[in-house]
């Protein structure tokens, strides 16, 4: 089935600003609470949110085999489990309904009243119930920077790194949507020069600029996914801020890897941009520096040209952009990550989320964490209000954005914006 929804010449009868992340070529999926307190699955064109549950009840998807309640859910998991053919048919149909040449819904005031919402009338929710969350470590620039700082500049990459898309299993219970503030965590750290650890607020809270992909039911126990088929099982992508407490991480990570330094919170952008919508922005990724094992050898373009930026907004001041990077820098592709993840037969399910790992580019202004931008705190980052940051302060808001652009068509992810609150204080009894 062709992806007619991607037609770059199509215009919508809904208003779309020139620089909007959400022209009719995007058609992302999300979950929102309406002004009537109803939870529904929806999409967005320009600054209009569209209730897909209501559209389906009104018969607009009658040519597509869908269960009656597929959009009347508080997560996208069941829709995602329906598979790529269904996602594609639904996106194509939405493009048709909102095409500037199609008057059916455009001229039906009664229908529009129940289907369309202004953004200030809705509240975005977590789009999927995330069963399992895996975080990779797939940027060679990030891995090299961290290895240089913490171990040995001459052997910054560990010997396995060029052979394995390294990853670890994270916690899905602390993943929150954009707009939900998170607390500075407390934990164990080893102060400089000390021989015994202390317990208290982390002093080095950091963001990690990542993207994440969300999968459908991909395989049965024991069944690996071939690398060149992996994209069939990827529903779409979100922006992902993988909050990290660097002082806790440094003390706890040997020998089993990240644990409490990472599991206190991660934040996602609420609209899942489908892999179908991202097809026009495919590019070839970096050339492998070492021959990869056959199950990781991929053909064709498996990377995506997605511009990324991070801003820090202090309380009561405007934001400063502190990093500009691009998803295309990732050394290991999502296909290689998914092929590797399932190479031992581990099942991947609808709604699983896979983080890319921090996406650092080759230049210091493209690093994807404060750890790298401030080089462990040795080079503080200046903000527009005259203050400096080595890491993130209480009441700072961290904002990540991403978009793709070519031949005059732009689609984007919106943003993931999260305020860092002071440590949690128990309510006084």
Closer residue to Mn ion in complex, CB, 135/252 = 135
Closer residue to Mn ion in complex, CB, 134/274 = 134
Closer residue to Mn ion in complex, CB, 70/140 = 140
- CB of residue 170 vs Mn ion: minimum separation in angstroms? 8
The CB-nearest residue to Mn ion is: 242
412 vs 405: CA distance, rounded Å: 8
411 vs 417: CA distance, rounded Å: 19
Closer residue to Mn ion in complex, CB, 87/207 = 207
Closer residue to Mn ion in complex, CB, 21/242 = 242
Closer residue to Mn ion in complex, CB, 26/244 = 244
Whether the Cβ atoms of residue 168 and residue 134 lie closer than 8 Å to each other? yes
- CB of residue 268 vs Mn ion: minimum separation in angstroms? 13
- CB of residue 262 vs Mn ion: minimum separation in angstroms? 6
- CB of residue 128 vs Mn ion: minimum separation in angstroms? 18
- CB of residue 1 vs Mn ion: minimum separation in angstroms? 35
Whether the Cβ atoms of residue 274 and residue 235 lie closer than 8 Å to each other? yes
- CB of residue 367 vs Mn ion: minimum separation in angstroms? 14
The first and second tokens of residue 139, run together, are 């940027």
Our measurement of the distance from residue 183's CA atom to the centroid of its chain's CA atoms, rounded to an integer in Å, reads 20
Catalytic residue among 15, 111, 142, 329: 142
- CB of residue 306 vs Mn ion: minimum separation in angstroms? 17
Closer residue to Mn ion in complex, CB, 12/134 = 134
- CB of residue 210 vs Mn ion: minimum separation in angstroms? 6
Closer residue to Mn ion in complex, CB, 266/417 = 266
Q: Which residues make up the interface to Mn ion (CB under 5 A)?
A: 135, 208, 242
300 vs 409: CA distance, rounded Å: 23
Q: How many Cα neighbours within 13 Å face the side chain of 288?
A: 18
Does residue 142 carry a catalytic annotation? yes
Give which of 169, 268, 279, 139 is closest to 213, Cα–Cα. 268
Q: Annotated catalytic sites, by residue?
A: 142
């Amino acid at each position: 089935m062709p992806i007619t929804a991607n037609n770059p010449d199509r215009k919508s009868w809904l208003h779309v600003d020139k620089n909007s992340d959400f022209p009719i070529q995007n058609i992302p999926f999300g979950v929102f609470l309406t002004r009537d307190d109803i939870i529904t699955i929806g999409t967005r064109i320009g600054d209009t949110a569209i209730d897909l549950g209501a559209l389906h009840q009104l018969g607009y998807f009658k040519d597509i085999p869908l269960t009656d309640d597929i959009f009347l859910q508080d997560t996208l998991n069941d829709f995602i489990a329906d598979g790529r053919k269904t996602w594609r048919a639904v996106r194509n149909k939405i493009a048709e309904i909102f095409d500037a040449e199609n008057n059916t819904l455009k001229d039906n005031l009664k229908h529009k009243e129940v289907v369309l919402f202004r953004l200030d009338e809705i509240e975005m929710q977590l789009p999927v119930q995330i069963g399992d969350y895996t975080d990779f470590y797939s940027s060679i620039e990030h891995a090299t920077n961290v290895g240089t700082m913490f171990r040995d500049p001459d052997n910054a990459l560990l010997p396995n790194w060029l052979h394995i898309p390294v990853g670890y299993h994270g916690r899905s219970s602390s993943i929150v949507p954009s707009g939900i503030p998170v607390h500075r965590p407390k934990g164990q750290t080893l102060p400089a020069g000390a021989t015994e650890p202390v317990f208290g607020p982390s002093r080095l809270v950091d963001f990690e600029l990542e993207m994440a992909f969300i999968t459908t039911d991909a395989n049965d126990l024991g069944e690996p996914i071939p690398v060149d088929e992996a994209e069939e099982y990827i529903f779409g992508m979100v922006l992902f801020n993988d909050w990290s407490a660097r002082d806790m991480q440094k003390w706890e990570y040997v020998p089993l890897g990240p644990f409490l330094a990472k599991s206190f919170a991660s934040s996602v952008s609420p609209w899942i941009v489908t892999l179908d919508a991202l097809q026009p922005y495919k590019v070839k990724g970096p050339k492998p520096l070492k021959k990869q094992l056959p199950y990781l050898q991929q053909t064709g373009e498996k990377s995506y040209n997605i511009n990324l930026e991070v801003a820090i907004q202090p309380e009561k001041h405007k934001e400063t952009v502190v990093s500009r990077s691009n998803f295309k820098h990732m050394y290991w592709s999502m296909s290689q990550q998914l092929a590797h993840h399932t190479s031992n037969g581990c099942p991947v399910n609808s709604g699983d989320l896979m983080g890319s790992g921090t996406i650092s580019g080759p230049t210091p202004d493209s690093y994807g964490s404060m750890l790298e931008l401030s080089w462990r705190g040795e080079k503080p980052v200046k903000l527009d209000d005259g203050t400096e940051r080595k890491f993130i302060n209480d009441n700072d808001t961290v904002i990540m954005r991403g978009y793709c652009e070519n031949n005059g068509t732009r689609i984007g992810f919106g943003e993931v914006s999260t305020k860092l609150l002071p440590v949690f204080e128990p309510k006084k009894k």
